[in-house]
Structure 1
Amino acid sequence: SPEEFLSSLDHYEIAFPIQVDQNGDFLTFDMRRQLKPRPRRSLGSLAYEPSEQQVFYKVSAHRTQFLLNLTLHSNLLAEHFTVEYWKRDGMDWQHDFHEDCHYAGHLQDQYLSSKVAISNCNGLHGVIVADEEEYFIEPLSPGANISTGGEGKGSPHVVYKRSSLQYPHMDAACGVLDEKPWKGRHWWLRTLKPSPLKPSGNHSQRGQLPLKRSVSTERYVETLVVADKMMVGYHGRRDIEQYILAIMNIVAKLFQDSSLGNIVNILVTRLILLTEDQPTLEINHHAGKSLDSFCKWQKSIVNRNGNGNAIPENGIANHDTAVLITRYDICIYKNKPCGTLGLAPVGGMCERERSCSINEDIGLATAFTIAHEIGHTFGMNHDGVGNSCGSRGQETAKLMAAHITMKTNPFVWSTCSRDYITSFLDSGMGLCLNNAPPKQDFVYPTVAPGQAYDADEQCRFQYGVKSRQCKYGEVCSELWCLSKSNRCITNSIPAAEGTICQTNTIEKGWCYKRECVPFGTRPEGVDGAWGSWSSWGECSRTCGGGVSSSVRHCDSPRPTIGGKYCLGERKRYRSCNTDDCPPGSQDFRELQCAEFDNVPFRGKYYTWKTYRGGGVKACSLNCLAEGFNFYTERAAAVVDGTPCRQDSNDICVNGECKHVGCDRVLGSDSKEDKCRVCGGDGSSCETIEGIFNQSLPEGGYEEVIQIPKGSVHIDVRELNLSINYLALRGESGEYFINGRLSIDPPRRFDIAGTTFHYRRSLEEPESLEALGPTNITLFVMVLVRTEPQGIRYKFNAPVSRDGSNQYSWHYTPWTKCSVLCAGGSQIQSVVCRKLSDGSAVSHHFCSPETKLLERQRPCNTEPCPPAWVIGNWSECSRSCNEGVRTRSVFCKRKISATEEKTLDDASCSHPQPKMLEPCNNQTCPPEWVALDWSECTPNCGPGFRHRIVLCKSGDHSATLPTSQCHEASKPPTSMRCNLRRCPPPRWVTGEWGECSAQCGLGQQRRSVQCLAHTGQPSSDCVEALQPPGMQQCETKCESGPTDNPEECKDVNKVAYCPLVLKFKFCSRTYFRQMCCKTCQGH
């Protein structure tokens, strides 16, 4: 009850807070600040105007008048973000942030020396820290029978010092983990292989789109993070949310490093903390089984109707990948502890049940494990496994290293990792990452993780609460910690960025990218820019339409020190060698399958033919073992330029089907006319169609229609279902389909230079279809078993020509020289012309056997005159207040297409272009200037430090009103600090008192107290360790002086003197007198 609570305080006061303005003038007795309805937040806007974010209160207590200056925590979390606590039967409760009633600030006149944290949801709840005192304030319950002093107005609140608490609450200590053998330990392992793609499988958002280029675009990985029951128990509910946030912040920064070669944003959309085991989720030491269970579980809790990153009606956010963090010491192959740290399916990103990972908690270094495992879901293999990274003489292994050593750099990605993720994204397998979220779903802290958690705290995360840092020299490359057995050990993982360090040249520094740099500094990053396109590569085919590629790299300059990677095209393609292959050439897919005839498959050799069936990817090389009833994928991708399908102009490029025009040019919009002449006008053929419904004799083959040589778009079909069969024969009488009274199964037939599709089913009439053109004359027949119901036919036959001398090949005029000097070239192309009027026509009209070869000759081979070669302007040295920019200017002479010579400036006749010019002469706008941070208070446990931020003129000469600076860019005025734990309470003993007996045995006492680190009494000491407060003591008895020792004797009539000595009663005066001789010397 309120009375019991107040009676437990040594001292308290009743206060009536009021809401005031910034000058301390009265506004209202209502404690709740009435804010406007909160609009939807966007990345570039504030939730409220600055004036709506501040509130002022006046509280009078303890002979002090507190004027509170408070600011709303508006950017603490996003609008739809949830932190959920789950029990066995599902979600138990979650954070609810519908009300904006959480504030932080300071006392009006004590900006640097005071701190205030207040919630005004229902009265004032919070703490005021000022003048080395901590005051708690909370509203007094309406039913409390307490005299309030008769204020009459406002709501009574109780204000008391922390020192007034007789039994201050102290959190229980966490358990201690056993030491782990880090030496030679596997850092990250995975053995799960990608599951094969089923022909009819429904892979979430993994469709194929005709991407024509390799393009660097921004990606967004919406992430679900789950912490198991052991994590919550180990870190405690008070600390786990911020701890996980700090880890995911590091993960996000790792994926934003330019060495990845792509821009990938990690966004946390949902955090689930398990306080009890889940019925359908089994987590133990066995990493493989635990991961399998987690992947299925995380899929089951997603809203099935959600799409992209939209927040569905039930409020459950979707995610692209799921991360499980556990305190189990996991092992990949058994349910016992071992050296595995993480596990994930390779290439599982965007597949709902395979985009997941399990990660063992080892402190802040868990971030490297999570980034590594997410890398696996992007298709990355370990450095050195199937690639050259990490091999002798090659670049060292980096974040995707299978083992971590002193040489491993977990802050950057290897070129192999960059190639893996680029190939994965370019292949269209990461389409679920293209949807840009409308807002940031999780606000990461701006404080470096090493500042939030010092080296000792990082050691405790890994090795238990008694661990601390040892070996201070190279903390930025390796963090050494004391183990449970008091040995100094390391897992070869560097300390977190921001951890305090020291070198011979740097007295005080902090860790950044494994280096110790001066404290508070961070080397400026350089954004990357694209270099020049390379020359076009070799054509993938010698005829029939190949592909050539050109690439450019993000190296002019390369992004460094956190600079952004380039966005845009990184590889482009063009068609080449588009002429028809010579007659009789082998099919290009058949050639590729035949190359595997000499490669053993499962220990045997086979003759491989192209598999034309369904259920396979169009651009993978699937081959059929001739004479055997099986086919297999012999290569994940066919050679660039291979047709995707028969009867199609589209070709495969980089494993994906791309659109090609009829002119065999990649991306071309050229189309065939009805005669299958590319770009033609349809005049070279005529359409022949009709219905054959003559009465025919039963029992044999009868002719339906003759299809001339060169016909295209052939379509023959029965009008109704019947028991008759369509057949196809050639000029010499041989049958290709359904001949010799034998019925073929419906399938594709390669006949007369084209492919016929023969279809027959119980539901649809029989049909024959082919694109053509045919290279022989064909006859459509029917095997008559009953009266025909009618047969429809339609095809386009070539128009007969009056001789072949109407068209011939001709050279075009020479083109202009490609350059004015230093060696160019001229080209003379070949066209087909109509002899009657000399007009150019399609190549189809000229004979390919007489086609002329294209000509090329050199021109303008003399060297170019000297000329100035000018580089690009640099960035302006200042964004305002008169900066300068520079560029390179050289006098050069081009000798040839590949040779260039640098000359003296005097060799160039024209005036030299300027190398330096002023820029950005405009006056700098006002900007925020932050002063030094205050000291951190309190000195242990969660604390804050503050600083003053002023609005200054562009030249910093004048202080301006805050309204003239942009509020959104204002630096933070407070930050968390000194998050190390306070020492536990301990037993304190006083000096021993005097012995109670002046002679012989007695007792002596001393004071024994349980004191907290503040010196206040505590009840949380371990009773079993309480020192004794009393012990026995003995005082030596001295005999008095006497002239006649014989006078000391036992009284004869007393017979119990031996018992007096036995029971130690000699110290008592009476017994010593009666038994003087017996007690003498005792």
Structure 2
Amino acid sequence: MKWILFLSAIGLASAGVLPQHSELLRTLHTLMSVDELGQTFGVDNSSQVEAYEVVYIRRHRIFVPEDPLQRKASPKTKRSGPHENHAHYSFAANGKNYNLKVRPNNFLMAPNMKTVVRSNGGPDKEIVEEHPRGEECHFLHYDGGLVAALSHCTDDDIHGYLIDGGKPMEIKPIPSRLRQMLRSPPDEKDDEIIMIGAHIIRSVDPFPHLKAHQASCEVELPMRKSNLTRESVVMESETKEKRKSNKSTKELSKNALDKSTGSRSAAPNKVIELGIFVDSAALSLFMPYFGAKEYVKLRELVLAFVNAMQALYHLPSLGQRVDLSIVYMEFHAKPPANLVNNGERGQLLDSFCAFQTKLNKPSDSDAEHWDMALLLSGLDFYAVEKGKNNYVTMGKHEMIQTINKSLSTVTGVCTDIYNCVIGEFGVTNQQGQPYPSTGFTSVYVMAHEIGHNLGMSHDRNGNVCATEGFIMSPSRGVIGEATWSTCSAKTLASITLKHFDRETCMNDLPTGKFPDYNHNKYGDKPGQMWSADEQCRILLRDKAAVAFFATNADIAESCNSMKCRTPNRDGYYSSGPALPGTVCGNSMWCNGGKCVTVGRALNVEPIRGGWSEWKSKPCGSGCLQKSKGAVESERECNNPKPSDVLHRCEGSSVKAAICDDVQLCGEKSRPTAAEFAGQQCVKFSKQMPFIDPKGTGMQAAYSDKRPWQSCAIFCKRNDREGFYTPRFEFNSLPEVSAHFPDGTWCGNDGKKDLYCLHRSCVSTEVAEGLVRSSGKSTDLDMANNAPMTGKVHHKIPAALEEYFMLDKDGKPMKEEIDEETVKAAEESLNSHSGYEDQDFITLKPPK
């Protein structure tokens, strides 16, 4: 009877708000499960729920957008509103009717940006495939004292905030289980309404963690005033475009830019129109992680990458803002025939400069003309020095410099030939170890290279600025360097004074109407969309990777330098400064390399993460003597996905258990562990010349002090007496393992047999359901980034070598390693403060 009354009451609703007098309405939350309460109200008990309303939100049909990447599609019926990119939502709450004309949060993207996938069909034929873009689903509304931010990314679910007269309210969908039981209100017979959905709206405290500090600290209202002001100017320019058809779009765009900055005393923002190319080597690195042909996901990564650079070029330390606007993006499914496909950076740079020059439209007024071209490459760049390849490089760009001056003043940007920059993107060395530039740290490297193309020299190179601590420092490490020096700011300002052609080139906005997706949707805070954990997953291309914080202080320190771990490798990996906007504490985020208080509401609503169900792989086995099989299980923290590391799931994403491998291995003869080790040692010797190529291998005896020992493969050395396990060298290569397969028998502790699981020798009781924490340290608890030697192969530090060795009798030469040993090993690998490089070419200026 209760459900009948409840549904009847719901069915009587005909307005945007369900009847306020309904007792069932006020008790809707009591019908929710614990998970539904958590997702809707952030509590786990219905008694904790505060006042709310149930409202019906309507989306009105204003227009059907035309997809610029689908020009061949048949025309669609269009109902245009006052601004074609608007959407229209309406509802009633708190006794008030709301009609929200919202606009995608995207105005800085090049209006006619083109995304293509290029495949080489032969030496004389290139096929260009246009790839459909993803739909933008994040909207903004600003009208006097009313501000709204809505995300409508699925058919019926709307998430968002509404701030009316300074009072913030949160909008969330009713859980789908309950929504299926509700009937929509009677149709108003308005064919412009395309969606009606029941949602919950309630008042919220935008800064609950700051209440204790309100006496000493004032917090800004959660409004993005600068963006909204500029957006309204853009909307005004579009209206003028309709009224004054005799003006070109370029002129109107420039007027919009001038007006948006006219209230400030500073010069208008400079705008660099970018052509971005992602080569086939980079695709081969990232597509296995994202999924085959998942170009939309890869494009989102590139947009976040560019947006992070945008944030650096918006730092106050630069003196004035530089806007980056992508006009063209190209993915190379196969290497183009006329582009060098090796990592020798001089050849690659020359080739790319010529390649992009032929594609670039000559006129700056053309929608597909770019001022600067960037190649994001998966190749490991090297320079030939004294006949040898040096792989320690940062990036490369073309820069024109006057003959008589050491400070660059004439630049490659906006020229026809020298407006090109190449940079590594996702690169590891041949041991699979990531460079500092592998993950999002490449943002800082590429921003550095763009700075060169703008005319900036290295700090301390002919100027008075310090060598370290700034973006234009001559070296790039993994700590800090997330702000601009005064020398860089002066160089940028000099463009205005001395180079009118550059100034004109960089002061025009891209041609066309503003688009519906762009890198600026992250609002200079890409860390709000790419959490610290996700940044680590991009660095290691491992979905189990997480950001590692030993203490709360480490979370704040991540803005300066971040550490990443994964249960699939030993040790940790340095990832450089976290992206701007990365959460680093309660109501804190990273900005300029520091953890600072958020001055406005976060772009992403905090969400507590939840685990998915475990997914188990089939039983696998090495089919060795006395061994068993093993089952690997994985789960993801995506149910729901956490908004940041403060709200991520507890526990591990992987576990392993022993299984019976009789049916899997059958009755065939099983090799011994020593025979298996010998086969692997033959393979190892091809990469490590000091390993005996005859393939003499062994399994060490079990040791409770070194539980990894009997699960590691030891190989006889040919340069000295004893056996060695290449654990360190192959730690970062997922396709090569220096360990026996999971399930391998590895000893007996006097009571029971032990088996290898996750690189450790454990009992079946421990192995069943074993969970290996991503944040847990291992015996090899040291940074595993590529060493800064510039060599393809590097020798393991002497401090560690004996720890991984057995003598001729199979006894460990060094039982354990202490902190001093690890520190000495790290210092020997990273003997330089950063990657210092002559990362620019000086050319004679044209006569």
Same fold (TM over 0.5): no
Shorter-chain TM-score tier: 0.3 to 0.5
> Which structure features the higher share of helix residues?
2
Rg: which structure is higher? 1
Higher RCO (C-alpha under 8 Å, 6+ residues apart): 2
> Which structure features the higher share of strand residues?
1
